[in-house]
Amino acid sequence: MQAWDADRAQARIRELEHLPGALLPILHALQEDFGYIDAAATPLIAEALNISHAEVHGVISFYHHFRQKPAGRHTLWICRAESCQSMGCEKLVEQVEQRAGIKIGETTPDGSLTVEQVFCLGNCALSPAVLLDGQPYGRVSPNVADFLVDSATRPQ
Amino acid sequence: MSVKVYVPRDSAALSVGAEGVARAIAQEAASRNLDVTLVRNGSRGMFWLEPLVEVETPQGRIGYGPVSREAVGGLFDTGFLEGKSQVLCLGPTEEVPYLKEQERLTFARCGIVDPLSIEDYIAHGGYRGFKAAVALEPQAIVDMVQASGLRGRGGAGFPTGIKWNTVLYAKADQKYICCNADEGDSGTYADRMIMEGDPFVLIEGMTIAALAVGATQGYIYSRSEYPHAFRVMQRAIEIAYENGYLGANVAGSGKRFDLEVRLGAGAYICGEETSMLESLEGRRGQIRPKPPLPALEGLFGKPTVVNNLITLASVPIILDKGAEYYRDFGMGKSRGTLTIQLAGNIKHGGLVEKAFGITLHDAIYKFGAGTASGRPLRAVQVGGPLGAYFPESLLDTPLDYEAFIARKGMLGHGGIVVFDDTVDLAKQARFAMEFCAIESCGKCTPCRIGSTRGVEVIDRIIANENRTRNLELLDDLCELMTDGSLCALGGLIPLPVQSAVRHFPEDFDKPATSPGLLDPEALKSNRPNLHKETHPWR
């Protein structure tokens, strides 16, 4: 992940603008590179796809996955859907919030960890499930949750 | 001679340490100077046994599981490379009763082959269905799918052949095949398993659909929550291109078919077919009113087959073995097999592919072995967040589309989420409404506003404010949402809510407690705080 860079963003947009329905692939590419979609990207995308700023903004704000402000170096997704509820994910959420000192949707003050909720990671036979930086963890015990938070928030 | 050892790379297996096990096996083999070939297969779907390691022996594949990284040295010491018995040994994997008692048609190869080897896929019967299809007229392919009785596995259960027929007869310069792999229902993971464990079966199924209706471009719409499945699917598509199974001349047939996988972005509503099309076109995932049907005016306004992943992945075996072979499985109007996904508080969670007609009870107890916690089962939710909560007394319901509708439930995508006796159904009902409020696309009022009002009414019921009258109000609201919503999200969310009230009235008749699952502060302000607390970036 790197800091916002308009030239880099422009290059990513160029790579993808030819695709039919290119907007979501472009937004995914920008979030992959920068961890979020900077407001400065909106006019670049609108220009490339010949759509209005409002249309671009409307799409960014519609989808839960797209962030409009920078995220931490690590991202922890906690599943809060029914299957994980049946195995106590709400306690897990409380514990993670306490351990990291932030609420769901927030980033730790040192910028190390963002914790977000998702609805289903497709690991429902091994609930409760989380994903840390794309790595899946199943049957997450309190110890494992603490370990994941600690390893993500350890000073670099 | 090299010994083949299989360690799954399915993300559920990875979530319990399969990567470490694979590394440990490679290291151990190297340090002992043993010739081991590691194959990273998909999962067999017996997740409580993951990581499930298999060794190829003259007696067939022998399974060991669950294997931890620490146990690998011991496996080598006790001769697992010769398939010798020890404490983790399961015997021949195919003989494990959980697998042996299934009817694996769609999942015939999942967990067996190397997902990224097209040679392996073909060696295990891959592309036989395609070969059969190439020899047929488009109408004959459609007729065969129709005769097989295959119905949409996404939940709606619409006959696939009829849908294809509509697209076949639509006149257009361009037609599309769209695979709905936006598997957002909690308790389901069958789509993910195919993408990670047998992606070529989906490519083949979509190619057959393209031949049948005259389409040349396909899209798979998957989820940002499935990063691993996305990568495997993408790689499989590249391999198919490299080997001539996609592109201008698919396997020498003279037919073109191009395929791309796209990612959603965390919107449950995009599992609704018209929202998915909007999203693929690069817009907010707001649903489109029907008509026009996507079969006539779908993606970019062109005739489009939109099918669930499991529907499309079931097509190759129908073309290969014939419509009758497939139709002979199942009951009533539900033909073929259902991919049951056992989830939640269940001891032996996993994928069970069975002919339609097995009861919920048998799925949960014969296969699932009861709750994981060991406490009594109290409720099951079948069909995802829009499915009804059933009490133990309804576990005799057979897994069949019509049988579930008759009991005011929904089979959906086949996910079964089990809850033990610690569940509070009033909270689950509240969650259903809250989920609908978070995920509503906002197009129609009953869903957009009704879901928020629903959370408030349930909060009042839980807080014991005018309980009787608020229960009536909730009923009224549910009726309105059912009749007035444009799509299944608002239209079906009353199912979990009303089934909870109907089957578990005692949970709505307790002393006042704190309300929600997601938002403990809601009662204080007497207003749910949906977007602020749970989605601060909106």
Residue B47 is nearest to which of A68, A126, A134, comparing CB atoms?
Answer: A126
B234-254 pLDDT tens trace:
999 999 999 999 999 999 999
CA dihedral sign of residues B239, B245, B251, B254: negative
**Max Cα separation, chain A?**
51
- Interface A-B, measured as beta-carbon pairs within 8 A, has a size of 182
How far is it, in rounded angstroms, from Cα B492 to Cα B483? Answer: 10
Question: What is the model's pLDDT at position B534?
Answer: 38
Bridge partner residues of B178 (DSSP): B219, B306
For residues B167 and B530, the model is more confident at B167
Residue B528 pLDDT exceeds 50? no
For residues B532 and A87, the model is more confident at A87
Residue B537 is nearest to which of A69, A119, A131, comparing CB atoms?
Answer: A69
Delineate the domains of chain B, giving CATH numbers in brackets.
3-100 (3.40.30.10), 118-326 (3.40.50.11540), 329-420 (3.10.20.600), 425-534 (1.20.1440.230)
Over range A63-69, report the average pLDDT. Answer: 97
The angle at the Cα of B526, spanning B267 to B513, to the nearest 5 degrees, equals 95
A95-138 pLDDT tens trace:
999 999 999 999 999 999 999 999 999 999 999 999 999 999 99
Contact between B434 and B452 (Cβ < 8 Å) = no
The bridge status of strand B217-222 relative to strand B176-180 is parallel
Put simply, whether B275 touches A (Cβ < 8 Å) is no
Using an 8 Å CB-CB cutoff, list chain A residues near B384.
82
Helix H or strand E segment including B469: helix B467-484
Over range B50-79, report the average pLDDT. Answer: 97
Length of chain A as a residue count: 156
Residue B527 pLDDT exceeds 80? no
Task: Say if the Cβ atoms of B192 and A23 lie within 8 Å.
Answer: no
pLDDT band of residue B155 (cuts 50, 70, 90) is confident
B101-128 pLDDT tens trace:
999 999 999 999 999 999 999 999 999 9
**Short-list B359, B318, B356, CA closest to B337:** B356
Task: Say if the Cβ atoms of A122 and B419 lie within 8 Å.
Answer: no
**Short-list B153, B107, B203, B204, CA closest to B335:** B153
Using an 8 Å CB-CB cutoff, list chain B residues near A125.
12, 47-48, 189, 341-343, 346, 349-351
Share of chain B above pLDDT 90, in %: 94
B486-526 pLDDT tens trace:
999 999 999 999 999 999 999 999 888 655 555 545 434 43
Instruction: Report pTM.
Output: 0.95
Question: What is the model's pLDDT at position B511?
Answer: 86
Q: What is the dihedral of CA B319, B323, B327, B332, to 10 degrees?
A: 120
Residue B228 pLDDT exceeds 50? yes
Question: What number of other Cβ atoms are within 10 A of residue B162's Cβ?
Answer: 13
**Short-list B49, B6, B91, B14, CA closest to B367:** B49
Using an 8 Å CB-CB cutoff, list chain B residues near A98.
none
Using an 8 Å CB-CB cutoff, list chain A residues near B495.
none
pLDDT band of residue B343 (cuts 50, 70, 90) is very high
Contact between B310 and B337 (Cβ < 8 Å) = no
How far is it, in rounded angstroms, from Cα B35 to Cα B5? Answer: 10
Residue B446 pLDDT exceeds 80? yes
Task: Say if the Cβ atoms of B283 and A104 lie within 8 Å.
Answer: no
Over range B166-190, report the average pLDDT. Answer: 98
Q: Within 13 Å and on the Cβ side, how many CA atoms surround B364?
A: 32
Delineate the domains of chain A, giving CATH numbers in brackets.
6-62 (no CATH), 74-153 (3.40.30.10)
Structure tokens at A135: 């790595």
Over range B190-204, report the average pLDDT. Answer: 98
Bridge partner residues of B354 (DSSP): B338
**By three-state DSSP, how is residue B538 classified?**
coil
How far is it, in rounded angstroms, from Cα A63 to Cα B241? Answer: 31
**By three-state DSSP, how is residue B416 classified?**
strand
Using an 8 Å CB-CB cutoff, list chain B residues near A106.
536
Contact between B203 and B237 (Cβ < 8 Å) = yes
Q: ipTM score here?
A: 0.97
Put simply, whether B533 touches A (Cβ < 8 Å) is yes
**Short-list B174, B282, B502, CA closest to A55:** B282
Q: What is the dihedral of CA B102, B133, B149, B315, to 10 degrees?
A: 40
**Short-list B320, B315, B351, CA closest to B336:** B315
Mean pLDDT of chain B: 95
